[in-house]
Amino acid sequence: MARPIDLIPSSVKLTLAISYDLFALTLAFFSAYIIRLGIADVTFSSAELFSFSITTATAISLFYFTGVYSSVVRFFNAKNTVQLLFLLLFTSIISSISGFIFDAFVPRSIPIIFFVLSFFLIAGARALVGLASEKHWLEEREGVVIYGATSTGRQLAETLMNGQKYQPLAFIDQKSRFHGRTLNGLKTYDPNDLEKLVKKHGQFKVLLALSNVEPARIHDIIAKLEPFALELLTIPSMSDIVSGKRKIDELREVSVDELLGREAVTPIPELLAENIYHKVVMVSGAGGSIGKELCRQIIGQKPTKLILLDVSEAFLYEINQELTEYLSENSISIPLVALIGNVQNGMLMTRIFNQHKVQTIYHAAAYKHVPMVENNVIAGITNNIIGTYEIAQAAVFCEVETFVLISTDKAVRPTNVMGATKRMAELVLQGLAKRDHNTRFVMVRFGNVLGSSGSVVPLFKKQIKAGGPITVTHPDIIRYFMTIPEAAQLVVQAGAMGKGGDVFLLDMGEPVKIVDLAYKMAHLMGLTVKDEQNPDGDIAIEFSGLRPGEKLYEELLIDDNAEATFHQRILTANEQSISWMEVSRILLRLTEAMEEEDISKIKQLLMDAPLGYQPKSNAQPQHDEAAQIAENEEKLKAISSTSSNIVAFQQK
């Protein structure tokens, strides 16, 4: 909406500004004589009036030709103040010179007093107008504290002061040289003074104005802010600001990967390109969370052609549109082929592979939600096991070079049908890998990815925005987390390492207690959690109980014989497999049981198969199992450390 002052014609504004300045200069000139001589002794001859006329004409001319009148008064700032300072100083000198020329009575102190008064009247008035129009005294703006007193933070403060939504209250910065100093009119505090700030201002938002900061430091900052339940927002990336895609005041919520503070590892370019560069690549399940990100990563490695396969028309359309726009904006010519199809249709897969001469397949098509598969056993087996079998057989028949299966940590000692189906899919590929053909099968196993469909992160965010309650299945439940881009990058790199039948594990970092994640997310969205220690909190956490087949702890290893690779985030499992004959026998029995729609028989077959499938009603590990998990975790850490040493040695 336009301001009333914006409707006034420019000519009228100019007339008003000149009129006020003439009044201010006149008042300053005659007041200077009154202050110097006293009102009773002030008399003016024509010489003094000539000097006054020259002085005011000089000032108004300087203001006009140096752009003072073209500046918007409500944006009056330090630069404008300095400009007026020098112009009025020059005017005062002219006043003294003109007095000498016209032989006027101009005591030496008069130009000095005139300069001080005119500067106060002219610059002060403009500052007051700017303050009145931009501080919005009649509007209530939300208080914010800016974390980061560097140029980025000061630029954000200035932008917000000129806006209508937020009122900057102070800066916070870790650098001691800023502590206690006032920048842009705001005092700068030490991060350890947060409690003092909360007592002074009450609840406020914290705006993170830091650029190019390591995730570990962001994590440390968040850890300090989180206990105070202050809503945390951050500015866009500097690359987006510089490119013009985003403005500095387009604030966003802190992402959960920033909250967890996991350091990204630079990918190895040769591994990323190995199975993609100048090859025909297909992604099954291209519309899913991992499938989409795989497509984005693949595009960057310049394949000859990218085939997107999904059973969902809506999801397929979405990723196809995104990639098409990206290719067009960046003037990249890579053919995209979007195909609606089901991996269970072996003949369709064969036709696609033959027609497009597919060389690399990333098989991400699967049903992955534990409760959904638990309640739809036949659909889960048909898609995850039979679908993998059909697309893998078609790949062998069409001599596809590389086939990479996206597996899951739930395939390790599975307690649910979904995990059992994924472990069986691994065994199918391991069995096929032992046969005589030209296709290289690789399996990559990892845990939860942040922001995927069904992830607790978007669910928690939705529940918090709705006012709660936040639902957590169990107070002790723990999960590993990884960002979708990192997982996809590592999948591509692991796929390039395998020799055939390999199972790779992605280093998921430290496990996260889900209830702690819920607390942190609530606090960083500005809410306190209602519990025994804080009965008057804003939002409650409810424990709904473990779902059928759900574990408290997830694992990545079946046995303890994992080995390091030359990538510090990728390990190889070297786990036992079975012959293709045994795989065929299990598949035949499962198919017969599914035809009979005998769920109990299907589950029994899964338990009898060498999958380690043991369904549990509570899915909570016993003490010996928990101890084994802890032991495996320690071994994984040791192996990961060894891998880091290998990388460091190779770099030397």
* CATH number of the CATH domain containing 172: 3.40.50.720
- The reply to whether 574 falls in a domain is yes
Structural domain count, the chain? 3
Are residue 433 and residue 495 in the same domain, yes or no? yes
- The reply to whether 303 falls in a domain is yes
Q: How confident is the model at residue 272 (pLDDT cuts 50, 70, 90)?
A: very high
The whole-angstrom separation of Cα 150 and Cα 228 is 24
Q: Which long-range contacts (CB under 8 A, 24 or more apart) does 234-237 make?
A: 234/207, 234/208, 234/209, 234/210, 234/258, 235/152, 235/156, 235/207, 235/208, 235/209, 235/211, 237/211
- Chosen domain end from 102, 134, 166: 134
> Residue 427 pLDDT > 90, yes or no?
yes
Reduced to 3 states (helix: H, G, I; strand: E, B; else coil), residue 465 is helix
Reduced to 3 states (helix: H, G, I; strand: E, B; else coil), residue 472 is strand
Q: How confident is the model at residue 555 (pLDDT cuts 50, 70, 90)?
A: low
Are residue 230 and residue 314 in the same domain, yes or no? no
Which residues make beta-bridge pairs with 167?
143
Q: Which two tokens stand for residue 391?
A: 């697309």
Average pLDDT score over the chain? 82
Give pLDDT, residue 355.
96
> Residue 135 pLDDT > 70, yes or no?
no
Q: Which long-range contacts (CB under 8 A, 24 or more apart) does 466-471 make?
A: 467/539, 468/538, 468/539, 468/540, 468/541, 469/539, 469/540, 469/541, 469/542, 470/518, 470/521, 470/522, 470/529, 470/539, 470/540, 470/541, 470/542, 471/541, 471/542, 471/543, 471/544
Are residue 505 and residue 626 in the same domain, yes or no? yes
- Chosen domain end from 134, 151, 167: 134
> Residue 379 pLDDT > 70, yes or no?
yes
Q: How confident is the model at residue 443 (pLDDT cuts 50, 70, 90)?
A: very high
What percentage of the chain exceeds 70 in pLDDT? 83
Q: How confident is the model at residue 104 (pLDDT cuts 50, 70, 90)?
A: confident
Q: Are 92 and 111 in contact (CB under 8 A)?
A: yes
> Residue 541 pLDDT > 70, yes or no?
yes
Are residue 127 and residue 146 in the same domain, yes or no? no
- Chosen domain end from 224, 254, 284: 254
> Residue 627 pLDDT > 70, yes or no?
no
- The reply to whether 450 falls in a domain is yes
Are residue 346 and residue 494 in the same domain, yes or no? yes
Q: How would you list the strands of the sheet with 470-472, edge to edge?
A: 470-472, 539-543, 529-530
- The reply to whether 263 falls in a domain is no
Are residue 124 and residue 73 in the same domain, yes or no? yes
> Residue 558 pLDDT > 60, yes or no?
no
Nearest 5°: CA angle at 495, between 491 and 500? 140
Are residue 178 and residue 239 in the same domain, yes or no? yes
> Residue 321 pLDDT > 50, yes or no?
yes
Residues spanned by the domain of 209: 142-254
Are residue 358 and residue 492 in the same domain, yes or no? yes
Which residues make beta-bridge pairs with 511?
none
- The reply to whether 461 falls in a domain is yes
What percentage of the chain exceeds 90 in pLDDT? 30
Q: How confident is the model at residue 197 (pLDDT cuts 50, 70, 90)?
A: confident
Q: Are 306 and 299 in contact (CB under 8 A)?
A: yes
Are residue 250 and residue 301 in the same domain, yes or no? no
Are residue 475 and residue 523 in the same domain, yes or no? yes
Q: Which position has the higher pLDDT, 104 or 431?
A: 431
How does pLDDT run across 171-193, given as a tens digit for each residue?
A: 888 888 888 888 877 888 988 88
**Taking residues 417-424, what's their average pLDDT?**
94
Give pLDDT, residue 429.
95
- The reply to whether 259 falls in a domain is no
The whole-angstrom separation of Cα 109 and Cα 194 is 50
- The reply to whether 264 falls in a domain is no
Give pLDDT, residue 261.
62
Q: How confident is the model at residue 5 (pLDDT cuts 50, 70, 90)?
A: low
Are residue 63 and residue 113 in the same domain, yes or no? yes
The whole-angstrom separation of Cα 505 and Cα 509 is 12
Nearest 5°: phi and psi at 291? -60, -45
> Residue 499 pLDDT > 90, yes or no?
no
> Residue 208 pLDDT > 70, yes or no?
yes
CA atoms within 13 A on the CB side of 77: 9
Give pLDDT, residue 461.
83
The whole-angstrom separation of Cα 519 and Cα 259 is 12
Q: How confident is the model at residue 642 (pLDDT cuts 50, 70, 90)?
A: very low
Q: Which two tokens stand for residue 167?
A: 């009122």
Q: How would you list the strands of the sheet with 252-253, edge to edge?
A: 182-183, 186-189, 166-172, 142-147, 205-208, 232-234, 252-253
The whole-angstrom separation of Cα 122 and Cα 477 is 67
Reduced to 3 states (helix: H, G, I; strand: E, B; else coil), residue 618 is coil
Are residue 363 and residue 498 in the same domain, yes or no? yes
> Residue 203 pLDDT > 60, yes or no?
yes
Q: How many CB atoms lie within 10 A of CB 434?
A: 15
> Residue 354 pLDDT > 60, yes or no?
yes
Nearest 5°: phi and psi at 544? -90, -10
- The reply to whether 262 falls in a domain is no
**Taking residues 213-237, what's their average pLDDT?**
78
Give the residue ranges of DSSP H helices in 398-527. 417-433, 456-465, 484-497, 514-524
Instruction: Give pTM, 2 decimals.
Output: 0.68
Q: Which position has the higher pLDDT, 452 or 612?
A: 612
> Residue 511 pLDDT > 70, yes or no?
yes
Which residues make beta-bridge pairs with 172?
147, 189
